Amino acid sequence: MSQNEPAPHEKLCEYDTGAVRSNDCEDYRYDLISPIGLQSLAETYAEGVKKFGYCNWENGMPVSDLLNHAIAHIYKYLAGDRSENHLGHAAWNIIGAIHSEKLWPNLNEDFLRGPNCTAPKAASWTANNSATCPEQAPPANTQDDSDLSRLRATIMRTDLQ
């Protein structure tokens, strides 16, 4: 088989013009991703570079932390806070969680629930660990906890009305 011949299992697409190309992207539709959403995501990446440095997040962040931040941004948006791009930040965190799950399974195994919603191993963390990773184990009854609880309650009341 020459370098220009397709592999025997490769699907080909022939256009009305006579051009032929592989059809290897049929399971991925990048052309359907919203350019508006993608721009919002790119703006969030640019903010991160300015605040934390180039590709800082690729040093590794656990899925649990990324999802926690995504959910916080979603709640803030739902509560009417438009002070920053909360949807772009939530999307960034979700994409980061997908990346983390795929590339760093060992980083995540202690922080994610197991089958049948079993508690993660890190559930035994105490406030003593907060100096190492404050987002994973905040001290109980902090102002942030009560603010988030009030926000959740407000959102739930709004959704029920």
* Per-residue model confidence as pLDDT tens digits over 40-99: 999 999 999 999 999 999 999 999 999 999 999 999 999 999 999 999 999 999 999 999
Q: Is 7 helix (H, G, I), strand (E, B) or coil?
A: coil
CA atoms within 13 A on the CB side of 125: 20
d(CA 15, CA 5): 17
pTM confidence score: 0.66
* Per-residue model confidence as pLDDT tens digits over 2-34: 555 655 567 888 889 999 988 888 888 899 999
Place of tokens 């995504």: 70
Non-local CB neighbours of 69 within 8 Å, separated by 6+ positions: 89, 90, 93, 135
